[in-house]
Amino acid sequence: MILSPLSPYIGVGLAAIGILWVLGNGHRILNRKIPGPVIARVTKLWYLLQMRKGNFHATNIDLPRKYGPVVQIAPGYFSLDDPESMKLVYRHANPLDKGEWYSSWTFGPKVRLENLFSIRPASAHSQMRRKVAAMYTMSALVSYEPFVDGCIRAFRDQLDQMAASNAEINLTFWCQCYAFDDTHSVKQLTCKQYGERFGFLDEGKDVDGMIMVLEIINTVCTYLGLYLWVQTFFDFLSKLISRKPSKLDHLNEDQLQRTRSEGALKHPRSLEKVRQELDSSILASSDAIKLADVQKLPYFQAAIKEALRMHPATGLPLWRTVPRGGMTIGGRYFAEGTNLGVNSWVAHQNQDVYGPDADQYRPERRLETKLKEKQEAMEQSFTSFGKGSRTCIGKNISLLEINKLVPIILRDYDLEFAVRREPTQPGMQLPGRNRWFVKPEDLPVRVRKRNASAMSCKLKA
């Protein structure tokens, strides 16, 4: 046989490859018995296909109900649904590094550069964040309120025109316009520049195709995170960034704005309570709403937080890597290099924390409980802005924009569904497409100026 002289070498080579594979994938073998979809034990394709459907946040909610609090969704990737495990994975002291999935979010026209979101080592992130953190504190952002007010005035001008013409509008798009303009204005101010906006609100269009480009980036990075080797041959993202380097560096507050407004339409009783609180407060006749005044409204704050719970912006697990020496979580040992993560949509539906009606929008749950332990449990499981040392640095920008815009929309306008919307499943009031960020679908509404004496909203469901 021609190959017979080579057979011993081939055998040794294959054995060496097998040994190296076992050594490099020990964590996969050790944890292979952890429940989950069968195919997910041997390939990432199951996870990739679920992400491609655009509704992994919904799929992820069902997984622990079927398999338990620890579910394998790909080799070496485990989704968790346990408050105690969450404390360990997202701890502040000696924090875990981010998972390898985040490496796909490095950008640059020639050399890929790390950013606060993509950088994996916790120590390097801490150093990078420390340089800019002071500019994103709530006390610093309050001084930028006049510039946020300018964006709100532009938004109100558009809403007034739409109300006058009884036109049908896409609320999803207009919230994106507000988020782009407002965030850019604030970000310029943090860089000591004059706070100008892009012009989305003024022109009512996707300026320079930035919304489209951002959606492409989100989609590509979401997929590439599972197969990082593809990045070596994939320079498309870098070309997009090099074309618009300064106009893509913003947060994704638009998802948050849309879900807040849509939530009010879906829950008229809560809307009426919010309006009663607004109409009886100092905000009833205030043209420019101050953040400090809004923060004094307990029901409004509970409603906002409940909306953030029901519709968190991100829809994939927040991956962290098990450090050297491994770690034990929930009675299970996970080897070094294993990826562990909690999906915000899963954490926010945990009935042990939020009660048997966790899949329902009910702001009262935060006001009814007097038990300190219960309040702390809800707060610790709340991950709409991330968790631990990697909490989103733009959190306060989002809260500033939400607290200033939403009261004005609810106080001054009636929004009416132009098309009947049905939830895709219990607890999910607004259908959305998940590409890391869960972007709500188009939301067609009609706008009317509200009579301040009217204490309820007439809705077409």
How many whole angstroms separate alpha carbon 259 and alpha carbon 266? 10
Are 320 and 334 in contact by the 8 Å Cβ rule? The answer is no
CA-nearest of 316, 309, 429, 296 to 378 is 309
Of 102-116, 150-164, 309-323, the least confident: 102-116
Asked if 250 contacts 178 with a C-beta cutoff of 8 angstroms, the reply is no
Residues 357-378: tens digit of each pLDDT: 999 999 999 898 777 888 899 9
Question: Is 305 inside a domain boundary?
Answer: yes
Rounded to an integer, what distance in angstroms lies between the CA atom of residue 313 and that of residue 308?
8
Judge whether 122 lies within some domain. Answer: yes
In a domain, 76, yes or no: yes
The pLDDT, as a whole number, for residue 185 is 76
Give pLDDT tens digits for 266-305: 678 899 999 999 999 888 777 888 999 999 999 999 999 9
The pLDDT score that the predictor gives to residue 233 is 60
pLDDT digits (tens, 9 = 90+) for 24-71: 555 555 566 789 999 999 999 999 999 999 999 999 999 999 999 999
Q: Would you list the DSSP string of 251-300?
A: --HHHHHHHHHHHHHH-HHHHHHHHHHHHTSGGGG-SS--HHHHTT-HHH
In a domain, residue 382? The reply is yes
For residue 191, CA distances in Å to 139, 142, 143, 194, 219 come to 16, 15, 14, 9, 29
Q: Has residue 9 been placed in a domain?
A: no
Per residue in 206-252, pLDDT tens?
998 888 888 888 998 999 999 988 876 655 555 555 555 444 344 45
In terms of residue numbers, what domain contains 77? Answer: 16-230+260-419+431-449
| Residue 252, in any domain of the structure | no
Read off the pLDDT of each residue in 325-348 and give the average, rounded to a whole number: 95
Residue 34 lies in a domain: yes
Mean pLDDT of the chain: 82
Minimal CA–CA distance to 315: which of 231, 228, 219?
219
User: CATH number, domain at 195?
Assistant: 1.10.630.10
pTM of the model: 0.84
Q: How many separate domains does the chain show?
A: 1
More confident residue, 133 or 109: 133
**Higher-confidence residue: 335 or 185?**
335
- Mean pLDDT along residues 183-203: 71
457 is in an annotated binding site: no
Position 253 in a domain: no
CB 338 within 8 A of CB 76: yes
Q: State yes or no: pLDDT of 401 exceeds 60.
A: yes
CB atoms within 10 A of CB 379: 11
